[in-house]
Structure 1
Amino acid sequence: MFFKNKLRILKNPYIISALIILLIMLFLAIFAPFLTEYNPVSTDARNRLQPPSSEHFLGTDEFGRDVFTRMLYGIRASLQVGFSVVILTLLFGVFIGVLAGFYPKFDRIIMRVLDGMMAFPGIIIAISLAAIWGGGKLNIILALSFAYFPKMARIVRGSVFSIKDLEYVESARAVGAGDFYIIVKYILRNTSSPILVQATFNFALAILDEAALSFLGVGIMPPTPSLGGMINDARSFMTVAPWLMIFPGMMIVFSVLAFNLLGDGLRDFLDPHLRGNINN
């Protein structure tokens, strides 16, 4: 059964396409120091705004910095932010969602607070917190995590509601199983599918919003390379050096596309109703 499921998931075109893109990105991020001989923050005024060439694969920016090198380290920063945001969102969202869904006395209080938070777009919350706390990778991670976890909590809460009164949960409770055992053994195991799918979408959203915050000047602070910051710096040189904006922009598009494809593929694979429709 394990190998049958493994083969089925590898036949999903969304998942395959996403994995190819993500593996390439991961390779570029991990081996960035070995793929380029340039320093991402070192300037060279003599070679400023050079077009793509054999010496500078993707050209240079207004300070003579190698665009390919800065893009490699920008990918690394985006993946670090995305991974950290997903972990924090899972920790807080799952904990609060299970608490609200399993214990009705906490549900009214918790969900009213989360409803108030979800009344504002996540990017607005992130921008506000980043402006208050200041830029930097850690502050961006905290701001985006705070903006995203209410939706994760609501998804987990809805899944817990649909599971906690099922017969096998009632049977476990009847034989004396405690709440912690029921939550770990039955609730979390059966809510893992929507949690996993939402986590992939949060990863894509974190990459996109980190780029947006850096573009607005409240994200990762220069000269540390970030994809959004590179696009922001390139605005004044769009006509004379379009490569400064094109290549980082393409990388953001491919990154977000990969995680969205992965989320769609996992949703199709893990949802038995959708899987049945696909097989038919």
Structure 2
Amino acid sequence: MPSSIPGSGIEGNAMTTITFPMRRIARRHPGLALGAAILAALCLLALCAPLVTPVDPGFVDMSQRAKAPSWDHIFGTDMLGRDLFARIIYGGRLSLSIGVAVALIATVAGTVIGLVAGYVRLADAILMRIMDGVMSIPSVLLAVALMALSTGSIGNVIVAISISGVPRIARLVRGSVLSLREAVFVEAVIGGGVGTGRIIFRHILPNAAAPIIVNATYLCAGAMLSEAVLCFIGAGTPPTVPSWGNIMAEGRTLWMVKPHIVAFPALILSIAILAVNMVGDGLRDMLDPRAGRRN
């Protein structure tokens, strides 16, 4: 076969075909490319944490407590002598995982609710009043209330933050479905006798996917920030598992005298949230040409 002949150049042409769209996207949407690169770097550091630093993030050395950044500890140590760089690298696993998990759960649940509410008029009155009630409560306050009724586990934190994000996606999807339901192509499909499920998932959902994907990125960024807020007030993930929020919460008592304990994890968290928002803005411009022209 010609594709198996060494040096034929077919493999190189295939790689060029794959990389060319990526270069074009990076050129047209530099913010998207930069945000994706930062996120990829943070995820890679978190996944390869044992290779990045050999230090155990939970190792306590009271003789090194609250040390300033140095060659031995480039980010310094916390009040228990634990290496901050190692804790931040390992903490990225939990913080990034919570952001992704919340975005997935809230997006899936909100999409299902929005599809049903937008297409079934009877369900609309019931489901959207429930969503309005949830949205009337500030997201952080709702998460704190839910955490107060449960134990401080990672799963409960994800569920608590996800519940506050569901109405946002549900209202977005409902609005898209209400406009698409009256479109000519949907009326033509209905006239052809196609079933309701096929209409929703084959014709309506794909046309509403772009705003859903964009808002999922914003949910991811908001979830990481909410997790940090919950940890800061003592209602977040267990302190035995490092996360960026936990590290800041543990160092807040020494903020005035040892600001590096809070500053470094706060800086990394800010960079991660900024990168996710850049990806969301880039996807919005790429998936919605009208937004790109306005910008």
The TM-score with structure 1 as length reference comes to 0.95
73, 78, 93: which one aligns with 2:95? 78
What is the CA deviation profile of residues 17-56 of structure 1, one whole-angstrom value per residue up to 9, with x for unaligned ones? 2112101111111001211111111211111112212221
Once the two structures are superposed, the pairs formed by residues 3-152 of structure 1 within 5 Å of their partners are 6-10=22-26, 11-152=28-169
Residue ranges of structure 2 left out of the alignment (5+ in a row): 1-17
Structure 1 stretch displaced more, 6-15 or 80-89: 6-15
- Counterpart position of 1:160: 177
How far did 1:8 drift? 4.5
Higher radius of gyration, 1 or 2:
2
Alignment of 1:225-236 (within 5 A): 225-236=242-253
1:267 alignment counterpart: 284
**Cα drift, residue 112 of structure 1:** 0.8
Matched, 1:215 2:232: yes
Deviations 1:132-162 (A, max 9, x none): 1121211100001111101110000001111
Worse-superposed segment, 256-265 or 7-16: 7-16
State yes or no: 1:239 paired with 2:256: yes
Quick one: distance in 1 between partners of 2:19 and 2:46? 31
Q: CA deviation at 1:277?
A: 3.0
Unpaired runs of at least 5, structure 1: none
Matched, 1:201 2:218: yes
Percent of matched pairs sharing the same residue: 38
Give, in whole Å, the separation in 2 of the partners of 1:19 and 1:232. Answer: 28
Matches of 2:294 and 2:22 in 1, distance apart? 19
Q: 1:142-196: per-residue Cα shift (whole Å, max 9, x none)?
A: 0011111011100000011111111111111111211111111111100110000
| Cα RMSD, aligned residues only | 1.7
Cα drift, residue 240 of structure 1: 3.0
**Match of residue 190 from structure 1:** 207
Q: Residue 169 of structure 1 aligns with which residue? A: 186
Q: Does the residue aligned with 2:205 lie in a helix, a strand or coil?
A: helix
TM-score under structure 2 normalisation? Answer: 0.90
How far has the Cα of 1:269 moved from its partner?
1.5
Equivalent AA in structure 2 for residue 16 of structure 1: A
- Matched residues in 2 for 1:87 and 1:115: separation? 21
